[in-house]
Chains A and B, each alone.
Chain A
Amino acid sequence: GDSVTQMEGPVTLSEEAFLTINCTYTATGYPSLFWYVQYPGEGLQLLLKATKADDKGSNKGFEATYRKETTSFHLEKGSVQVSDSAVYFCALNNPPSGSARQLTFGSGTQLTVLP
């Protein structure tokens, strides 16, 4: 079945550091790929998405490129802020034709940014 593998956390960075959170997936066909963020005590917020190979999703300074050849969707940000501290989830959506679009999630990566 489909699966998502994320780099294990926790990740601790200083403010203004460069962030990369690795995500690779296993799926047949052409899944849609997502990054969700969960701030402390809150629900999941959609951060960005990409629906086909070579698409780049971006939002709030975060970027991720859908790489079909390496089955990856790594999340990057050039300069993190303390307010970026959260748990980041990579997810995919890959329904067989006519089926429901439930999300398959990675295990999440805890990011802490220190001032």
Chain B
Amino acid sequence: DSGVTQTPKHLITATGQRVTLRCSPRSGDLSVYWYQQSLDQGLQFLIQYYNGEERAKGNILERFSAQQFPDLHSELNLSSLELGDSALYFCASSRDWASDTQYFGPGTRLTVL
């Protein structure tokens, strides 16, 4: 158990809908990362937050957004969902923005029908 929690574990929804994925980092970690794991793209970095502020953006679609709250949990919002958004979404956390070791949560499996 890495100490990173993600909810829900599974999510099934329809095209065009909007969903919110939630992540709680390890105790004491200030930085949160979101990654997408899909069969065709592999594991890709989406976005990073540090202590409530966006730190870096990767291959994140404009339909996707995220935020980190004062209690350091983070939410990833996915809107106007398409079939191709079906994937595993992982959250990871690290002690601070400069830490090179990230600890991953169990993931949320999103299925868009």
Contacts and interface: CB of A to CB of B under 8 A. Distances in A.
B103 A108 contact: no
Bin chain A's interface residue count.
Answer: 20 to 34
A104 interface: yes
B2 A102 contact: no
Chain A binding surface SS class = strand
A49 interface: yes
Contacts, number: 57
B100 A105 contact: no
Interface residues of B, number: 28
B48 A46 contact: no
A102 B56 CA distance: 8
Nearest to A104: B45
A44 B33 CA distance: 13
B74 interface: no
Interface of B: 2, 4, 6, 33, 35, 42-45, 48, 50, 55-56, 58, 90, 92, 94, 97-107
